Structure 1
Amino acid sequence: MHIPSDWNDLRVVLAVFREGSLSGAARALGVRHSTVFRRLDAIEKKMGVRLFERFRDGYAPTPAGETAAASAARLEDEVLTLERKLSGQDLKPAGTVRVTTTDTLSAILMRHLVSMRVSHPEIRLEIVTSNTVADLTRREADVAIRPTPAPSDLLVGRRVADIAHAVYGSDAYLTGYGDKDLSAHDWIGLDDTLASTVIARWMRENIRMARISCRVDALPALRDAADAGFGLAVLPCYVGDSAPGLRRFAAKALSEPRSAVWLLTHDDLKHTARIRAFMDFIAKALASERNLLEGRRPRALR
């Protein structure tokens, strides 16, 4: 049996193993479905062993495939560690910084990135907007700007600001129904994909018996549903106070839930010049938004 010495061959095997299909592996590798098919076929012929059984609903590894994928995963860890350590030796603030943030924080971030570009013209930015937490250990991003009560111990960075929350409704809804007790209102709920968020936990603890008029799977949709008049919604103040059609149910932000904006990177990258320059600049920029993030800019109440 010929053992593959090409890291790219092992990447294909590992992608098919993790995704369980050619289409999933193709997305992960950023290539065409047909390319993965040809590459895997060539790898199996070169090795002289079948690595995956083909089924209608996907690809299942053979014992040889499991062994190859396990070795590929170990090698991947070594390669990624080497990349991070070498990147950490950069001395000049130049090159690409890949930043991941959420669909709600990206609007705040974008207000400051032009100034970042002016200050550091040799730094190229790649912005990934996703509510899925990127794996910084695997270099899915260099920097993460995330709302979270507590980040992973594997990452380093700084807490930029607290995030306050409040209850919001549209002008029309609050005019007609604003004098009810919270539990008597219609509410906009979150689906299971957001069940672990601080908003979902607050709703479970405080309005268990409330009427849920609809459920959504993203905070922009939660804001839009409240704006349309479906009922009340708990939103981060930087989302609710920025929406022209929404007003707070009460003047003060809620004492709970609370979260925070964290600016994070991997320990191996923290001394890289371009990462340090980006994080220093954005930390100051986001600190200038602290009043909005911490709920000190409410719109006029109903």
Structure 2
Amino acid sequence: MRGDWDNLHTVMMLVRTGSLNAAAEALGVSYTTVSRRIAAAEDSFGTQLFERTQTGYVATEAGLEAARYATEMELTEAALRRNLDGRDNELRGRFTITAPELLLHHHMAPVVEKFLQHHPRIDLNVRASNDLLDLGRRQADLAIRISSNPGDDLVGRRLVEQETASFARSDLVEAMTRDPSAPVHWLGFDFWTSTPRNTRPEYTDQRILLRYNDMIALLGAVRAGLGVARMPIFVGNAYPELVRAPILPPQPYTDILVLTHRDLKDAAKVRAFKDVLIPHFREIQSQFVTGEI
């Protein structure tokens, strides 16, 4: 029975991800195991679930139907686990949280340390991700996210409000302050089509020098002195070589939320983690805002 579910689950993941390699990575197995499970599922159901083409596996109508049923089974199992875990009053066992990498790097270590000191029987797993993992499918039990639309099945609260501002290396900021007419090189993201709005009018010569698809890479360029970038206050404040650049006044930014699935909101591990998390961020609120707005 377990093997049948493994095979059907593999069919679902191949449909969901679109390739053998991606499905293998999602399942934590080799691509040959994925191929073997697909063949076993086809043998079991007596029908072809995927066409083998030069570009990869393409789901047939039967394959899509099998994936739909597997998804329903997955959601039903996840709902049962959430329901049972929501009744769990024991502070032990596996517990998974997820948060943006930069927030984990700069502010979450004290929370994790204190939580584990208080609850040593909990097997804490931390996933660094900027994506809103599927809490309904138990990819995580609790998520810390920068979001204005967390989803209908999730409940939570604002953890901390935050602002953004422009930052650059201190020597570059000194030069900008001395001569606002000098060219200003912005480091932005690949979706930028123009320089930021609401910059100070005395900085008349602005252009985008580089675009990035990743905040870590952009940070490296800012710290190397390649230009000025807009970023959350807590990120800029974390690096001693960076200072606020006067070109862009602080602006409100999306709140940081702590979220969980509504079925888990009263679970003991969720409540225990929040009991450590929320007071910590209340104490460090000043690192996320300037107090100037």
Aligned counterpart, 2:38:
40
Report the Cα offset of residue 224 of structure 1: 2.2
Instruction: State the SS of the aligned residue for 2:57.
Output: strand
Q: % of aligned pairs identical?
A: 34
Instruction: State the SS of the aligned residue for 2:136.
Output: helix
Report the Cα offset of residue 59 of structure 1: 1.0
Report the Cα offset of residue 261 of structure 1: 1.4
Taking structure 1 as reference, are residues 236 and 183 closer, same or farther at Cα in structure 2, changes over 3 Å only? farther
1:263 and 1:120 mapped to 2: Cα distance?
20
Alignment of 1:236-275 (within 5 A): 236-250=232-246, 254=250, 256-275=251-270
Q: What one-letter code is carried by the residue in structure 2 that aligns with 1:115? A: K
Verify: 1:154 aligned to 2:147, yes or no.
no
Taking structure 1 as reference, are residues 182 and 35 closer, same or farther at Cα in structure 2, changes over 3 Å only? farther
**TM-score when normalising by structure 1:** 0.87
1:240 and 1:37 mapped to 2: Cα distance?
47
Deviates more, 1:167-176 or 1:244-253: 244-253
Give 5+ residue unaligned stretches, structure 2: none
Q: What does the per-residue CA deviation read over 1:33-91, in whole Å, with 9 as the maximum and x for residues that have no partner?
A: 11111111111112211100011222111121111111111121111111111111111
Tell me how large the CA RMSD over aligned residues is. Answer: 2.7
Alignment of 1:60-209 (within 5 A): 60-107=58-105, 108-181=107-180, 184-192=183-191, 203-206=195-198
Is 2:8–2:67's contact at 8 Å kept on the other side of the alignment? yes
**TM-score when normalising by structure 2:** 0.89
Instruction: State the SS of the aligned residue for 1:49.
Output: coil
1:103 and 1:252 mapped to 2: Cα distance?
25
Aligned counterpart, 2:283:
288
Verify: 1:215 aligned to 2:211, yes or no.
yes
Taking structure 1 as reference, are residues 145 and 287 closer, same or farther at Cα in structure 2, changes over 3 Å only? same
1:251 and 1:173 mapped to 2: Cα distance?
12
Q: What one-letter code is carried by the residue in structure 2 that aligns with 1:89? A: R
Aligned counterpart, 1:27:
25
Instruction: State the SS of the aligned residue for 1:279.
Output: helix
Aligned counterpart, 1:50:
48
Alignment of 1:1-20 (within 5 A): 6-20=4-18
Is 1:93–1:274's contact at 8 Å kept on the other side of the alignment? yes
Report the Cα offset of residue 180 of structure 1: 5.0
Deviates more, 1:149-158 or 1:205-214: 205-214
Taking structure 1 as reference, are residues 295 and 219 closer, same or farther at Cα in structure 2, changes over 3 Å only? farther
Q: What one-letter code is carried by the residue in structure 1 that aligns with 2:78? A: L
1:182 and 1:241 mapped to 2: Cα distance?
26
Give 5+ residue unaligned stretches, structure 1: 298-302
Is 1:95–1:274's contact at 8 Å kept on the other side of the alignment? no
